[in-house]
Structure 1
Amino acid sequence: MTPLYPDIMHRGGFEVFVAGLPAATLVRQWRDDSVAKVGGKIFALLDRDPGEVWCKTSDLSFALLTELPGIRPAPYFARAKWVAISASSPLSGDEIKAYVTEAHRLVAARLSQKVRIALGLGDLG
């Protein structure tokens, strides 16, 4: 059975969604992956089109998500608590978007206050 790919797992859907997040930028790097950044720091990427969405997670989310089928520690990024979410995961497109939004918040919160203010991000706690 061929998995159905939510819109966010296609380049167009991923890039449109990420572009709507505050101060987010997109670049194409490595193997032409769509890479989402905030303040120059990566918070998510789309590996292939359609493909896996990789994103930063909290320690708790990393532990829980990697127990689900179709979600694995992201290669090269796992030590920083990143997951790779495939279409075979039980997550809906909206749930994947929520994790990407949280990844944006987690990475933006680690930026210096000066950078957050310059980007118009304010207090992200």
Structure 2
Amino acid sequence: MKHEDLVAYCLAKPGAEPDEPWEGDLVAKVGGKIFAFLGSGTGVGLKCGRDADEAAELRDAYPGSVTQSAYIGRYGWNSITLDGAVPDDELRELVDASYDAVVAKLPRRLRP
């Protein structure tokens, strides 16, 4: 999947908004919370489980292409390189799961 296609998929989610909290680093937010770190074009950071142990399953399935996210990896976030190793369908499912996990924790008034 190309980076621009991934960005478009993320931003097509209900209530999704782009933001650039750090210069040159695009993120997708819903209800003011990040659900995808879209970076500068080589990968994506997504919530891939409730904790680091659940997220490790994806890292084990795609060694070298999926790594633990710096600083927030212990909370279940992984960095996924867009090198074709993770199939497009699975990448979309991971975006969906990350979005759903963030929306589930939002107060009802902020949910799309």
Using the size of structure 1 for normalisation, the TM-score is 0.77
AA matched with 2:9: F
- Structure with bigger gyration radius: 1
Return the alpha-carbon distance in structure 2 between the equivalents of residues 54 and 25 of structure 1.
Answer: 16
Is 1:66 the equivalent of 2:59? Answer: yes
Using the size of structure 2 for normalisation, the TM-score is 0.84
Fraction of identical pairs, as percent: 30
- Matched with 1:82 is 77
Is 1:47 the equivalent of 2:47? Answer: no
How far apart are 1:114 and its partner, in Å?
Answer: 2.4
Q: Please point out which of 68, 93, 100 is paired with 1:98.
A: 93
AA matched with 1:111: L
Return the alpha-carbon distance in structure 2 between the equivalents of residues 27 and 115 of structure 1.
Answer: 17
Structure 1 consecutive aligned stretches of length 4 or more whose deviation exceeds 6 Å = none
Return the alpha-carbon distance in structure 2 between the equivalents of residues 15 and 91 of structure 1.
Answer: 16
| Structure with higher strand content | 2
Classify 1:27/1:78 alpha carbon distance in 2 versus 1 (closer, same or farther; 3 Å): same
How far apart are 1:42 and its partner, in Å?
Answer: 0.5
The answer (yes or no) to whether the contact 1:46–1:52 under 8 Å persists in 2 is: yes
Return the alpha-carbon distance in structure 2 between the equivalents of residues 111 and 99 of structure 1.
Answer: 19
AA matched with 1:18: C
How far apart are 1:61 and its partner, in Å?
Answer: 4.3
